[in-house]
Chains A and B, each alone.
Chain A
Amino acid sequence: MMTGVAEDEDKWLAAGIAGLQQNAFYMHRAMDSNNLRDALKYSAQMLSELRTSKLSPHKYYELYMRAFDELRKLEMFFKEETRRGCSIVDLYELVQHAGNILPRLYLLCTVGSVYIKSKEAPAKDILKDLVEMCRGIQHPLRGLFLRSYLSQLSRDKLPDIGSEYEGDADTITDAVEFVIQNFTEMNKLWVRMQHQGPAREKERREKERSELRDLVGKNLHVLSQIEGIDLDMYKDTVLPRILEQVVNCKDEIAQYYLMDCIIQVFPDEYHLQTLEVLLSAFPQLQASVDIKTVLSQLMERLASYAALSSEVLPEFLQVEAFSKLNSAIGKVIEAQPDMPVVGAVTLCSSLLKFSLHVHPDRLDYADQVLGSCVKQLSGKGKIEDSKATKQIVALLSAPLEKYNNVVTALKLSNYPCVMEYLDNETNKVMATVIIQNIMKNNTHISTADKVEALFELIKGLIKDLDETLHDEVDEDDFKEEQCSVARLIQMLHNEDPEEMFKIICVVKKHILTGGPKRLSFTVPPLVFNSLKLVRRLQGQEENPFGDDESTSTKKIFQLLNQIVEALSSIPAPDLALRLYLQCAEAANDCDLEPVAYEFFTQAYIIYEEEISDSRAQVTAMHLIIGTLQRMHVFGVENRDTLTHKATGYSAKLLKKPDQCRAVYACSHLFWVDDQDNLKDGERFAIVCFLHFYCAFSGKLVLRIGAMCLS
């Protein structure tokens, strides 16, 4: 059925164009023979085609454009007629005899244009007459096009300051008055379209209205181009009149479009100075208007304006832009209690971006915005709506992107509160974004409180916030998250050992809440960070007056023991063994024999009780022997015990070749070149004997034996 209508429309349009063209032809003939009477007759007939009610706006426009082109020629003809002696006043009179009102008014406007150009009467008078006469057409579509025609004709003929049509002292007022009146009438016609026709065609009507909106908006554009309008006039006359119409028309489509139009066509400087008036209109608009988008647009424009040059910044302060916008948003939200969460958050997000661009040094403003966001979200629990969630993430990301320094974002007291409202999934993603910001900007987090605050913020990654969800997490995603936490731990640093130790304690506290799945990722970086600290302290001499509370290598080793021990809950014996050996070596370098021995003992226990895979055992033995070989801190007894055990383990490895190699390696434990007390010839020989023993029952390279004995 719809295609039927469309086909019909095409037919009517074709008929209309044909009629128009035919009359235009006769009109041209009349014009060529200077026959005014006939020219008027045929032009009126031609314009009658525009009286149709059968066309949609889109098709009517096509017809209108052809008429427009013809009227240009007619206008030129009128001009020539006046030069040939015809009085313009008479002509103005004459065209009003046309039979139907629509053609009459089109002709009148056309003559009016010539009349104004002749300057036989003040432009303002003619314009006033025309704009009033157009009231004769109350049909929305026809009226809109007629007034649009008037607007087009009059654009370059307004009595603006500096134009050739400038009038007396009130000239600007007259120009403004004309345009505003035309605008007001056009808007009324446009709004009336909403209520024409049956309810079931509402959607089609709204679409048609949308096609016509620029006709109405053009008037505002014309206003913005009038040279004579200064800030005061805009503030006192122009803006209030426009807003009055916008508010009073009580039409959702018009209000949204026109508010947006105002913001786009008038200069940002004006908006800044009229901020209060402009903002006061918003709560008065219809509840269904998408205010948040318009307000966001306004804030974005102002933010860009501020970004242009620092010279305009004092203006922002002077008009108290931030506080005005802040309270305006509050009023809007108050006036619309049913506004969905995404609306309130979008507004906060735009205001935050505004604040960050215009007042980057005012962290309190940013915090205020976050605070009002928290207020809006309170009582709602975790946000489910994905659009709202996206907006919250945009809100939280803005300070990170602006400052490129997480430490600054940590100063915003409401920041963690906003994060609380994200669902667990998004919370983790946001935490990862924060970590990546740190990595990208190489931000060093250097005090224990900042680390504490940071780890609180990213707690979604550090531990399970919700017991039940863990099974649903994707393996690879989980690994990626934990790796980024591991990288983060590398970024924590302070030159002062005391502070660094505090940082390590804070991190330990947090990662130990992570549960078995996370420890294998988070423990190693913390261990190595601690070992680096040990190395730093090694160089420093023991302070004889230092109190027991100060950081010492012993304290760090105690901590290390606790950290590595946590791996037993997973369990992760291979990793734990390696880390114990690393600690032992570090203790060796600090000359702490009991500590080193303890670490070795732990490593051996793990080897005996938990490492059963043969290949793992081989690697473990290499590490044990290699580490032990480098130990110089052990006294004879301890060294013997450890070496004896190592040799014993080696001989018991599963495969003969592995046994041989391991026992051979043990031989180095008895003979360390640079330490004379460790050259135990007797034991060395025993080991070599063991070696030959293995040789008879398996493969062996004989030259090794020869090397031993030399």
Chain B
Amino acid sequence: MVLVLALGDLHVPHRAPDLPAKFKSMLVPGKIQHIICTGNLCIKVVNPCRIEQLLSLRCECLAEEVHDYLKTLCPDLHITRGEYDEETRYPETKTLTIGQFKLGLCHGHQVIPWGDLDSLAMLQRQLDVDILVTGHTHQFTAYKHEGGVVINPGSATGAYSSITYDVNPSFVLMDIDGLRVVVYVYELIDGEVKVDKIDFKKTTTTTAH
């Protein structure tokens, strides 16, 4: 049983101040084996221990680079570049193999029309992956398509999007077990975390080309 956290489009601090507290309390280090992030994390930011040196005051909500925060949850972190990310070294796309599955990661602004399933399917074939994870629309979706899966984990902070109205914060946790993957989606709706799950089984024949 391998747990993979998929999230993205946090837009901290342009569009949201921070991850929701309820999400932060759920995401604890040591439980997740891989994190894949579609992009648009945040501006690079550094921990201000300088304040404490100057004042010896307790500062409880210090800003922390989202990248570093995610790294504390799990050291195996994969990120692709969103159009607002300042870090230029993130790649445009990434592929990785976890267990029996090949995963593909891409922010999604490169795939036009944005959110179009057929166009995303093209990218899936191009990267030759079973599971494609993209973002940009801030809308959670999960489709079975031609023997594969196309997932959008939405925005982990519920950030404003020109594409989607009324964005709820959401992220996805995939449980990969042999040829089966269970996709759990966590959404924060009206202050409560709601969970849903979808089952996928990889057929033994290879994915269509």
Check: B193 CB closer than 8 A to any chain A CB.
Answer: no
* Shortest Cβ gap from A41 to chain B (Å): 64
- Which of B45, B84, B112 has the largest number of chain A CB atoms within 10 A? B112
B16 CB contacts on chain A under 8 angstroms: 490
Check: A222 CB closer than 8 A to any chain B CB.
Answer: no
* Interface CB pairs A-B, < 8 A, 29: A390-B55, A393-B55, A397-B57, A429-B51, A432-B51, A433-B55, A436-B59, A436-B61, A436-B62, A477-B48, A479-B46, A480-B48, A480-B63, A483-B43, A486-B14, A521-B13, A524-B14, A524-B15, A528-B159, A589-B162, A619-B109, A622-B110, A623-B83, A626-B113, A629-B112, A630-B113, A630-B114, A665-B112, A672-B113
Are the CB atoms of A487 and B13 closer together than 8 Å?
yes
Are the CB atoms of B17 and A578 closer together than 8 Å?
no
Give Cα A411–Cα B68 distance, bound, in whole angstroms.
38
Check: B54 CB closer than 8 A to any chain A CB.
Answer: yes
* Shortest Cβ gap from B86 to chain A (Å): 9
* Shortest Cβ gap from A475 to chain B (Å): 9
Check: A476 CB closer than 8 A to any chain B CB.
Answer: yes
Are the CB atoms of B45 and A578 closer together than 8 Å?
no
Are the CB atoms of B162 and A582 closer together than 8 Å?
yes
Check: A279 CB closer than 8 A to any chain B CB.
Answer: no
Q: Which B44-86 residues have a C-beta within 8 angstroms of A?
A: 44-48, 50-51, 54-55, 57, 59-63, 83-84
Are the CB atoms of B114 and A626 closer together than 8 Å?
yes
Chain B interface residue count, Cβ-Cβ cutoff 8 angstroms? 35
Are the CB atoms of B112 and A622 closer together than 8 Å?
yes
A242 CB contacts on chain B under 8 angstroms: none
Give Cα A425–Cα B14 distance, bound, in whole angstroms.
25
A585 CB contacts on chain B under 8 angstroms: 162
Q: Which B1-30 residues have a C-beta within 8 angstroms of A?
A: 13-18
* Shortest Cβ gap from A577 to chain B (Å): 10
Are the CB atoms of B13 and A429 closer together than 8 Å?
no
Give Cα A698–Cα B6 distance, bound, in whole angstroms.
35
Are the CB atoms of B57 and A433 closer together than 8 Å?
yes
Interface string of A656-695 (1 = CB under 8 A from B): 0000000001001000100000000000000000000000
| A480-B48, A525-B13 known; A429+B54 contact, CB < 8 A | yes
Interface string of A579-590 (1 = CB under 8 A from B): 000100110010
- Which of A477, A531, A622 has the largest number of chain B CB atoms within 10 A? A622
Give Cα A524–Cα B83 distance, bound, in whole angstroms.
14
Give Cα A417–Cα B47 distance, bound, in whole angstroms.
30
Check: A484 CB closer than 8 A to any chain B CB.
Answer: yes
Interface string of A424-442 (1 = CB under 8 A from B): 0110010011001001100
B160 CB contacts on chain A under 8 angstroms: 528, 531-532
Give Cα A619–Cα B84 distance, bound, in whole angstroms.
10
Nearest 6 A/B pairs, CB to CB: A486-B13, A585-B162, A476-B46, A524-B14, A487-B17, A665-B112
Q: List the B residue with the shortest CB-CB distance to A486.
A: B13
Give Cα A674–Cα B146 distance, bound, in whole angstroms.
24
Are the CB atoms of B83 and A619 closer together than 8 Å?
yes
Check: A491 CB closer than 8 A to any chain B CB.
Answer: yes
Q: Which residues of A contact B (CB under 8 A)?
A: 390, 393, 397, 425-426, 429, 432-433, 436, 439-440, 474, 476-477, 479-480, 483-484, 486-487, 490-491, 521, 524-525, 528, 531-532, 535, 578, 582, 585-586, 589, 619, 622-623, 625-627, 629-630, 665, 668, 672, 701
| A433-B59, A440-B61, A532-B160 known; A626+B48 contact, CB < 8 A | no
Q: Which residues of B contact A (CB under 8 A)?
A: 13-18, 43-48, 50-51, 54-55, 57, 59-63, 83-84, 109-110, 112-114, 126, 159-160, 162-163, 165
Give Cα A701–Cα B160 distance, bound, in whole angstroms.
35
Give Cα A474–Cα B47 distance, bound, in whole angstroms.
13
A589 CB contacts on chain B under 8 angstroms: 162
* Shortest Cβ gap from A582 to chain B (Å): 5
Give Cα A483–Cα B16 distance, bound, in whole angstroms.
11
Are the CB atoms of A483 and B63 closer together than 8 Å?
yes
* Shortest Cβ gap from B181 to chain A (Å): 28
Please name 12 further chain A to chain B contacts, defined as beta carbons within 8 Å, in addition to the given A486-B14, A528-B159, A578-B84, sorted by A numbering: A432-B48, A439-B61, A487-B63, A490-B17, A491-B17, A521-B13, A525-B14, A528-B14, A578-B83, A619-B109, A665-B112, A701-B126
Are the CB atoms of B57 and A528 closer together than 8 Å?
no
* Shortest Cβ gap from B162 to chain A (Å): 4
- Which of B46, B60, B163 has the largest number of chain A CB atoms within 10 A? B46
Are the CB atoms of A668 and B112 closer together than 8 Å?
yes
* Shortest Cβ gap from A571 to chain B (Å): 16
Give Cα A585–Cα B114 distance, bound, in whole angstroms.
13
* Shortest Cβ gap from B17 to chain A (Å): 4
A491 CB contacts on chain B under 8 angstroms: 17
Give Cα A672–Cα B113 distance, bound, in whole angstroms.
9
A479 CB contacts on chain B under 8 angstroms: 43-46
Give Cα A535–Cα B109 distance, bound, in whole angstroms.
22
A625 touches which of B15, B61, B84, B112 (Cβ 8 Å): B112
* Shortest Cβ gap from A386 to chain B (Å): 9
A432 CB contacts on chain B under 8 angstroms: 48, 51
Give Cα A229–Cα B51 distance, bound, in whole angstroms.
51
Give Cα A409–Cα B57 distance, bound, in whole angstroms.
18
B57 CB contacts on chain A under 8 angstroms: 393, 397, 433
| A440-B60, A484-B63, A665-B112 known; A490+B83 contact, CB < 8 A | no
Are the CB atoms of A630 and B163 closer together than 8 Å?
yes
Give Cα A360–Cα B133 distance, bound, in whole angstroms.
54
